[in-house]
Structure 1
Amino acid sequence: MKSNRIFLSGRITALGLAALLGFNAPAWAQLRIGNPSGITGSVAAGVKENIEGARLYFDAVNARGGVNGQKIEMLSVDDRFDPKVTVEVSRRLITEQKVLALFLNRGTPHSQALLPLLAEFKLPLVGPSTGAMVLHEPVNPWVFNVRATYQREAAKAIEHLASIGMTRIALLETDDSFGADSAAGALNGFATVKQTPVLQAKFPRDKPDFSELAAQVTRSNAQAVMVIGSAGNTANGVKALRAAGSRAQVVTLSNNASDGFIKLLGEHARGVIVTQVFPNERSVAYPLIKEAQDLARAKGLDGVSPAMMEGFAAAKVMTEGLRRAGPNPTPVALRDALEGMRNHDIGGLQISYSPTDHTGLDFSDLSIVNASGKFMR
């Protein structure tokens, strides 16, 4: 098996899976949470920013003495963006590392693959980095989302395009559960504005060839195209569209709301619309944003990205859940503590859960990449 990577205390250490799961943590690291995600592969850029944002908050909490006198240890393991590997490493994190929860994993098929594991071990998944409707409805007792659904984002984006006069919109979607779920939201948006896509086509999740799809988009005379896919695949799709001569407005979803995605787009970044599920990362009117910016500057970082804010917000929710679970938390106690959270302010945004609602937040917005390679609202 290829080696996986674990991020501990800001260090990156390449370890084999067996070595990883035999890691002897310091005696103080009693609050362990497992973070299986695509540290390598087509989503690596955004995942690394998710992890950086979460660690920004956890490090600050630990510097103040931790939670109920115990420090939080996040074990970040590379699942290579492969659902089978996600389950494999997660099972070992649960059974051998004794994590209290899984946290901030990336991917819709990957999160779906974890659901039986959560039920088997009665252990929560907090802040999955996906807006899949299957994690929201019906409510899963072990899943606690900290973001809006992809369907809401996709519908809002289509409605925006129609509102600025676009009537010829194409839809390209990755051929997996994430693509199907997000496309359903886009089609709801089309229905709302009484339109249909001029082209709807799928592409494989692994190593797609966009040349023919780009030619189809060009022939359709699309004014805009929504690309539903990972950061790497979406960037390659945009490059193929431009190479085929299409000048269509490109819009994609918040799974690509990272500085890394902008870098992947390169010269084609300007003008790409990306939906967002957190406030503007430069809007210090939100205490959540100001806190993250202050902590980032204290670490010598230039600022925070949308993907970092997703990790930061999820870390705040996880920390509050651990605090409420008491000095000797169990996975079940953590689950119960989270479900009892009502109108908890994480910095200008209110988090609420109940037995009938595990969405947490429902914020949704649009951004566009400017000439400087920054998201603008």
Structure 2
Amino acid sequence: MIRWPQAAAALVAATALLAPLAHAQLLIGQTAGFTGPVAAGVQETTDGAKLYFDAVNAKGGVGGQKVELVSLDDKFDPKLSAENARQLIEDRKVLALFLTRGTPHTEAIIPLLNQYNVPLVGPSTGAMVLHKPARKHIFNVRATYQREAEKAITHLASLGITRIAVVLADDSFGADGLTGAQRGLERAQLKAVLEERFDRSKPDFAPITAKVVQTNAQAVLMIASGVAVVDGYAAFRAAGSTAQIVTLSNNASTGFAKSLGANGRGVIVTQVFPNERSINFPMVREAQELAKARGQEVSPAMLEGFAAAKVMVEGLRRAGPKPTRESIDAALDGLQKFDLGGLEISYSPTDHSGLDFADLSIIGTDGKFRR
């Protein structure tokens, strides 16, 4: 027979044992520009990721532990990206980094990934330098910028457009996209009428605008962040240019479309995920249903975050009952033919490229992306 004091003591002891499990969390770290020129896109990709993480947590998390995303603002500054990553890895002891934004920003944290054997899942950049050769700790989800830029040029050429200008940020992101654009031009047997770089931190579009008008460019591919594209496009229009504006999927956010204002209609934006209204893709349908329950509307940028979160959670699930940085890395390295919901992704020690999906969209009069 158990006396009440003994039973109470046993209950307290059992509760104490269970408490760590009930409150256990799988910490995932993110550094990205929540303020600054890419804030709109960063917020939307993060919202998409949280949409999936919250759904997983509502069902008990992963192995009974909730996934917690710790996000730090790096203001789109590569130096701050590296410092944030250091804090997340050394101080917060995150299991993995996730959904970083920007090419030079992601490059800045690679030494930390290698030093601490920390996996990075779903960097929101299509930089080829992160794809080939395969980076041991980086698991890409989205397609490359080179693939997008090449597809954009091919599309313009198919429309009979021959006078194409390329305007790009003078950094590793711009150079990467330019390589894809040049490949597309070569295949179309064309040469750019203009290739102009600008300082990412202090863009001056006045001299570039004069050259765009002088060359009578029919289309301008802008490889830059959202704010720069908005400012450049406004400058071109104010100078009388009627060139078709094309930009890459780093600007595939509702916030970018809104920031264009009246200039938005007709702007072409490449995409690396299916149409956010294509419910024939199970992943899109799943995201739509979860977003609807919250009173949200899915954007292309949200889909990117949603897909990256699915890969992150799958890595955690396959990493064992007590995931470590090393076990997550190994689990993802062996991920084969994982169905995101109509899109299949695989990794191996020599291939961390992720998806190769690329498409085009155009912004309609309602500010939404049309395919």
Asked if TM exceeds 0.5, the reply is yes
Shift of 1:30: 2.0
Q: Partner amino acid for 1:352?
A: S
Aligned to 1:59: 54
List runs of 5+ in structure 2 lacking aligned partners: 1-19
Q: How does 1:132-281 map to 2 (within 5 A)?
A: 132-281=127-276
In the TM superposition, what whole-angstrom CA distance separates every residue of 1:73-109 from its partner, at most 9, and x where no partner exists?
0001100100000000110110111100110010000
Structure 1 counterpart of 2:267, one-letter code = V
SS in 2 for 1:360: coil
Q: Which of 291, 314, 321 is the aligned partner of 1:320?
A: 314
The yes-or-no answer on 1:45 pairing with 2:77 is no
**Residue 330 (1) aligns with residue 324 (2):** yes
CA contact (8 A) 2:29 2:94 kept: yes
Distance 2:368 2:25 in 1: 39
Matching residue's letter, 1:307: A
- Matched residue SS, 2:286: helix
Moved over 3 A (4+): none
Q: Which residue of 2 aligns with 1:348?
A: 342
1:96 matched to 2:91? The reply is: yes
Deviation string, structure 1 residues 263-294 (Cα, Å, up to 9, x no partner): 11111000000000000000000000000000
Q: Aligned with 1:353: secondary structure?
A: coil
**1:29/1:72 contact within 8 Å kept:** no
Q: 2:247 & 2:21 partners in 1: Cα distance? A: 42
Q: Using the alignment, how far apart are the partners of 2:236 and 2:369 within structure 1?
A: 21
- Counterparts of 2:206 and 2:262, CA distance in 1: 19
Q: Which residue of 2 aligns with 1:6?
A: none
- Cα distance between partner residues in 2 of 1:27 and 1:323: 18
Distance 1:137 1:29 in 2: 37
Percent identical pairs in the alignment equals: 62
Residues 29/213 of structure 1: CA separation in 2 closer, same or farther (3 Å cut): farther
1:66/1:197 CA distance change after superposition, 3 Å: same
Aligned counterpart for 1:125 among listed residues 82, 106, 120: 120
Q: How does 1:8-27 map to 2 (within 5 A)?
A: none
Contact 1:276 1:367 (C-alpha < 8 Å) held by counterparts: yes
Amino acid corresponding to residue 367 of structure 2 in structure 1:
G
TM-align CA RMSD: 1.1
**Does residue 362 in structure 1 map to residue 356 in structure 2?**
yes
How many residue pairs are counted as aligned between the two chains?
Answer: 352
Match for 1:375: what amino acid?
F
Pick one of 343, 350, 372 that aligns with 2:366.
Answer: 372
Q: TM-score scaled by structure 1?
A: 0.92
Change (3 A) 1:250 1:205: same
**2:305 alignment partner in structure 1:** 311
* Partner in structure 1 of residue 8 of structure 2: none
Please tell me whether the aligned partners of residues 22 and 64 of structure 2 are also in contact (alpha carbons under 8 angstroms).
no
Counterpart contact for 2:164–2:218, Cα < 8 Å: yes
Per-residue deviation, 1:207? 2.8
Alpha-carbon distance in structure 1 between the residues aligned to 2:336 and 2:46: 26
Whether the aligned pair in 1 keeps the contact of 2:125 and 2:250 (CA below 8 Å) is yes
